[in-house]
Amino acid sequence: MTNFAENLATFDDVDHLQAIELYSHDGEIAALIENQAGSQGSLKLYHYLWEKYGEISVEAAKEGLVLYAEHTEDARQHPGKHPNIDRLQEVIDLGLPLTVETIPVGDA
């Protein structure tokens, strides 16, 4: 089984992105994942899922939890510690996908 760092190495670079905005089913902003220290791994993972599935669907969220690898179990044991993982679990639990908008570097 691979770990999160090994999984990240397989994803495309996201240097061209400033952030990703996630929107709930009712069009409200659910989250902003910025391209900065501490969230770059999540940005890469969510971008990968968006490119593969076109949204953060239940299927995408399930794959995301597998790809977060060792961090997924830590998130289950410590709710709130890993909000980007918690969000994927919420997509699965509620059955409601998130739409994605990418913000390229240089856009405000």
Q: What is the pLDDT of residues 27-84, one digit of tens each?
A: 999 999 999 999 999 999 999 999 999 999 999 999 999 999 999 999 999 999 999 9
pLDDT score for 108: 54
Distances (CA, A) of 105 to 17, 31, 85, 95, 108: 5, 18, 24, 32, 8
Tokens of 20: 């990703």
Q: How many Cβ atoms from other residues are within 10 Å of residue 13's Cβ? A: 8
Residue type, 98: L
What pLDDT, on a 0 to 100 scale, did the predictor assign at position 1? 77
Query: Measured between alpha carbons, how far is 102 from 79 in angstroms, rounded to an integer?
Result: 27
C-alpha–C-alpha distance, residues 3 and 26, integer Å: 34
Length of the chain: 108
Mean pLDDT of 85-105: 97
